[in-house]
Amino acid sequence: MEDRPLRLISASPVDQLARTIEALLVVASQPLSVDDLAEAAQDDAERVATALSLLGDRYREGRSGIVLEHVAGGYAFRAAREAADACQRLFERPVERGLSQAALETLAVVAYLGPVTRPEIARIRGVAADSAVASLVERGLIAEAGRESGPGGAVRYRVTALFERVFGLESLAALPRLDDLGGEPEAIRDRLLAVAEARAS
């Protein structure tokens, strides 16, 4: 059955709210939760959820060049898959591209075991992590998350909402199991598992 044509958003109260939410998502620099949207729109969270459902139908894969998705604990617009090649040509260096192997390994450690310090990352990877950590902070994929207790405590790092958004994760719970990672070097995978098990015990 063919999709119905895109309908114009009418003047009903929920449709008006949907237009407001649409504008908020366009200007936002990161995904917005239902509570964020309700606060900004000064409206009820339940009505916001209804308006998001309306927008989700309007902006879904195959109907629009823009898609509304639930990612990183909130809602955001992204380009439709059919426009991916054109978008890639416009942005020659997307944030997830051009990452070195060291940066990818460091990102995996922080994603699975964060918040972690540079010494912990270096211990898991077996090499210094200063350069990789600095590169990931600069790209906005990881950020400081406090310090270890005690004088001169090392800075801890965690992945950011941008990391979740770039990699299409609704939350870190959506990360694949370490056992299922085929691209990680065996030694890194083993060290990650060992540290994770030690932390859980």
The residue assigned the tokens 């309007």 is 58
CB proximity list for 193: less than 8 A, separation 6 or greater: 178
Give the H or E element holding residue 57: helix 45-58
For the chain, give the mean pLDDT.
78
pLDDT (0 to 100) of residue 186 = 62
Q: Are strands 155-159 and 116-117 parallel, antiparallel or unpaired?
A: antiparallel
Peptide bond into 13 cis (omega under 30): no
pLDDT (0 to 100) of residue 89 = 67
Per-residue pLDDT averaged across 142-150, rounded?
Answer: 83
pLDDT (0 to 100) of residue 71 = 84
- Return the CA Rg of the chain: 20
* Dihedral angle computed from the Cα positions of residues 49, 77, 103 and 179, in that order, rounded to the nearest 10 degrees: 50
For the ranges 27-41, 144-158, 172-186, which has the lowest average pLDDT? 172-186
The residue assigned the tokens 């990391």 is 163
**50 to each of 16, 29, 34, 38, 54, how far by Cα in Å?**
12, 23, 10, 11, 6
Rounded to 10 deg, the angle between the 101-113 and 130-138 helix axes is 80
pLDDT (0 to 100) of residue 38 = 93
pLDDT band of 1, cuts 50, 70, 90: very low
171, two tokens: 């939350």
pLDDT (0 to 100) of residue 50 = 93
* Whether the Cβ atoms of residue 172 and residue 158 lie closer than 8 Å to each other: no
pLDDT (0 to 100) of residue 189 = 60
Q: What pLDDT, in 10s, does the model give residues 42-100?
A: 999 999 999 999 998 888 888 888 888 888 788 988 888 888 777 766 654 455 556 77
As a whole number of angstroms, the distance between CA 201 and CA 196 comes to 9
82, two tokens: 């059919």
CB proximity list for 181: less than 8 A, separation 6 or greater: 108, 189
